[in-house]
Amino acid sequence: MTTLYKLIERVKKDDEKAVEELLQRLSPKVKSAAQAACASEREDIKQELNVKIVQAAKKFSFEYTPGFWETVLKEGQQKQ
Q: Are the CB atoms for 4 and 57 separated by under 8 Å?
A: no
**Assessment of whether the complete model's pTM goes beyond 0.85:** no
Band (63; pLDDT cuts 50, 70, 90): confident
What average pLDDT does the segment 26-40 reach? Answer: 94
Which tens digit of pLDDT belongs to each residue from 46-60? 999 999 999 999 998
* Class of domain 4-79 as given by CATH: mainly alpha
Band (80; pLDDT cuts 50, 70, 90): low
Instruction: Give the start-to-end residue ranges of the domains of the chain.
Output: 4-79
Q: Are the CB atoms for 22 and 53 separated by under 8 Å?
A: yes
Instruction: Tell me: pLDDT of 76 over 90.
Output: no
d(Cα 36, Cα 7) in Å, to the nearest integer? 28
